[in-house]
Amino acid sequence: MIANYQIPSELLGLPNVKAVRYQITGDERIEVFIESSLEAAVCPECQQVSTQIHDTAELQTIRDLPMWERQCWLRYAPRRFACATCRKTFVERVAWREPGFAHTLRYAQHIYQRTRREDMAQIAQDEGLSQDMVRGIFERGAKKRSPSGATRS
């Protein structure tokens, strides 16, 4: 069954994100289509605020915390801005995603918490993840918590 419904952004609870719609795509799976609600982004090159959207990338699939007892994937198309000051283009950065990975920060935290008391193979099976992915989350989480490891952005 594929159904399209509106979903209140408050339910999602991600900063500066609006939920556009969602699809129930299986017995245990939901996909939520999201967009950034910010009108502007800061250019990483010259630190000026840009409001001109250059283009939008293809939809990405990003794992998030379960919703309604279903495994939840966010569908998100990163926007590329064009900086009017330095003429460079750049992809917007979002605070809720673990940079470079196909899951949200809060999902990584959730998995990390589980790895501290549960077997990684079991977690991988429960969550439909590869064991490598679970181990990667554990290792990055452990590094962040080490005494020298101030939280890196």
The residues that touch Zn ion, with contacts defined as CB under 5 A, are 43, 45-46, 83, 85-86
Long-range contacts (CB closer than 8 Å, 24 or more residues apart) made by 131-138? 137/103, 137/108, 137/111, 137/112, 138/111, 138/112
Nearer to Zn ion, 86 or 105 (CB): 86
Nearer to Zn ion, 38 or 102 (CB): 38
| Minimum distance from residue 145 beta carbon to Zn ion (Å) | 35
Nearer to Zn ion, 43 or 72 (CB): 43
| Minimum distance from residue 36 beta carbon to Zn ion (Å) | 18
> What are residue 82's DSSP bridge partners?
52, 89
| Minimum distance from residue 41 beta carbon to Zn ion (Å) | 10
Q: Which pair of tokens denotes residue 12?
A: 């999602």
Pairing of the two strands 79-82 and 29-36? unpaired
| DSSP, res 39 | S
C-alpha–C-alpha distance, residues 130 and 139, integer Å:
14
| Minimum distance from residue 76 beta carbon to Zn ion (Å) | 23
| Minimum distance from residue 108 beta carbon to Zn ion (Å) | 30
Q: Which pair of tokens denotes residue 74?
A: 């966010």
Nearer to Zn ion, 93 or 116 (CB): 93
Nearer to Zn ion, 57 or 84 (CB): 84
C-alpha–C-alpha distance, residues 77 and 22, integer Å:
15
